[in-house]
Amino acid sequence: MTELHYMSATELAGLLRGGRVSAVEVAEAHLRRIERVNGEVNAIVTLTAERALDEARALDEAFARGREPGALHGVPIAFKDLTDTAGIRTTYGSPLFADHVPDADALVVRRAREAGAVTVGKTNTPEFGTGSHTVNAIFGATRNPYDLGRSSGGSSGGAAAALASGMVALADGSDMGGSLRNPASFCNVVGLRPTPGRVPDASPTLAWFTLGVSGPMARTVADAALMMSVISGFAPTSPFAVREDGSAFAGPLEPGVEGMRIAWSPDLGGLPVDPDTAAVTARATGVLADLGAKVEQVELDLSEAEDAFRTYRAWYYATTFGGLPRDGLGANVAWNVERGREVTAADLARAERLRSGLFQRMNAFFDSFDLLVAPVSQVPPFPVEQPYVTDVAGTPMPDYLAWMRSAYWVSVLHAPAASVPAGFTPGGLPVGVQMVGRPWADHTVLRAAHAFERATGHGAVRPALGGS
C-alpha cells in the first residue's frame, strides 16, 4: 500500500471516513515526512506540529462520538504564507511582517478547517508573492524536490514543493501572473487558477480587482476538485463572487475529452519557448487526440494582454504596498510600486480597452473551441541561485516578469486555467501543460485535466528524496 504521506487526499479522506486510519495516524505520518525532507527542500517555513496533533485528536474524538466527518476530515494541509491564519505566524515573505500573527482566518482557511482539514503549517513564498521564484529575506529559497539545485517556481513554490515531496496532501495557492500554475509545472503537481469569483476574496481596498485569485494545489486533479468543493462557493464579501455552490465540484470528473474541440497553441502567438519545454508540451496534443478530442493547432495572438496586465499589476502594487516603508521592501516589490506610481488615468483607460477587447475576442474564440492548450511556463526549472530567467531560447528577457508571459497573458482572460503534469525534460525536470477554458467553465478544465492525467501517469512519478 502507498505510504500515508503519498496517498492522495481523496484516498486519505476515504480511509478516514471509513475508520480504517485515524486522523492522528495521518498527521503523525506527514509530520515525520516533514521532519525527514523539509530541511533539504525548505517548503514549510512555519510548522504547527502540536496544533496539528491537537486538531487531529479532536477530530478522532468527535468521529468516535458519531459526528459526521467533513469532506476534508483529517486531511493534512498547509497554507501559503500569504494566506491569513488566525493564531499562526504569517509573514507574507516580508521582513516588515516577520512576527505578524493574524487574528482571523482567510476564507480558504476557514472553509478548509470547517471541512475537517488539519493544518500542519505555512508554505514559503517570495515577498508578497512577487515573482515566480520562491525566495525571501526571512526564510531563503525553496528548492525543487526533483532537483535540489533548481527553483520550485513561485510564488506558491513552497506549496508545490511540499506536495511533491509528500509533506502535505493538499495546499492552497494564489495566482495573479502564474503564481499557482508555474510552481505546479515546475514541481510535477496540479494547480487550478479558478475563474475569478469562484473562490471569493475579501479585500478591503481592491474588492473589484480580478487578476489575483486563490485556488487549490494537489498531486491529482481529483484532489484539486475535492478542495474546490470546499473552498469555492458564494460569499458576500466579493462583489463578483460566483453564485454556484462548491458542491458542484464534488461530482465525478467523467466523461473525459472525447468529442471536445481543443485548440493547441505552442507559443501563444510568438513567445519564445525553451526547446525541451516545447517538446514535452507538444506531446500533450497526441494524448488528447488519442482520447477522442478534436485537436487543432491555432494561430493565437494574446500580445495585447501584455500592456493590460502590466498596467493593472503596477496599479495594484502601488495601491496595496505603496504606503509601506520603501527601505523595508525588497527590490522586486519596490520596482512594482514605483511602476504603479507612474500609472496615469490614460494608462488605466487603455488597459481596460485592451482587456475588454481581448475578452470579447476570446469569447468568440471559445464558441469554436472547448479548451485552449498551451505551455504553462516558457522554461523548465532554472538554477535556484538565479534570481529570475534572463534568456528564453536565445531571446533576452528585459526584466524579472517577462519570462512569465505564457502564464500572465492567460490571467488577463478572466478564464480558468490548470497546470497538469505533462512529462519531463531529458534532464529529468518536470514540465506542465496549461489547459484554459471559457470563463466559468472550470468543470470542463478539470475534466480534461483528469483524463490527461489518467492517460499519462506523469503526476505519479515521485522525486528521489528522503527515501521517497
464, burial (CB in 10 Å: exposed 0-12, middle 13-18, buried 19+): exposed
Using only the alpha carbons of the chain, give its radius of gyration.
21
Question: In the prediction, which pLDDT does 468 show?
Answer: 64
Residues in the chain: 468
3-state secondary structure of 465: coil
Residue 132: CB partners within 8 Å, gap ≥ 6? 153, 154, 155, 157, 177, 178, 179, 182, 183, 377, 388, 403, 404, 407
Q: What string of DSSP letters covers 279-298?
A: HHHHHHHHHHHHTT-EEEE-
Residues with a catalytic annotation lie at 80, 155, 179
Question: In the prediction, which pLDDT does 2 show?
Answer: 76
Contact 409, 302 (CB under 8 A): yes
Q: Count CB neighbours of 383 within 10 A.
A: 10
Question: In the prediction, which pLDDT does 466 show?
Answer: 77
What average pLDDT values come out for the chain (468 residues) when binned by 10 residues?
Answer: 90 98 98 98 98 98 98 98 98 98 98 98 98 98 98 98 98 98 98 98 93 98 98 97 96 94 97 98 98 97 97 98 95 97 98 98 98 98 98 97 98 98 98 98 98 98 86
Angle formed at CA 232 by CA 230 and CA 235, multiple of 5 degrees: 115
Question: In the prediction, which pLDDT does 467 show?
Answer: 67
Query: Three cell numbers at 260?
Result: 471536445
Contact 388, 151 (CB under 8 A): no
95, burial (CB in 10 Å: exposed 0-12, middle 13-18, buried 19+): middle
- What is the rounded distance in angstroms from the CA atom of residue 411 to the CA atom of residue 310? 11
Orientation angle between helical segments 107-114 and 221-231, nearest 10 degrees: 100
Q: What are the structural domains of the chain?
A: 12-460 (3.90.1300.10)
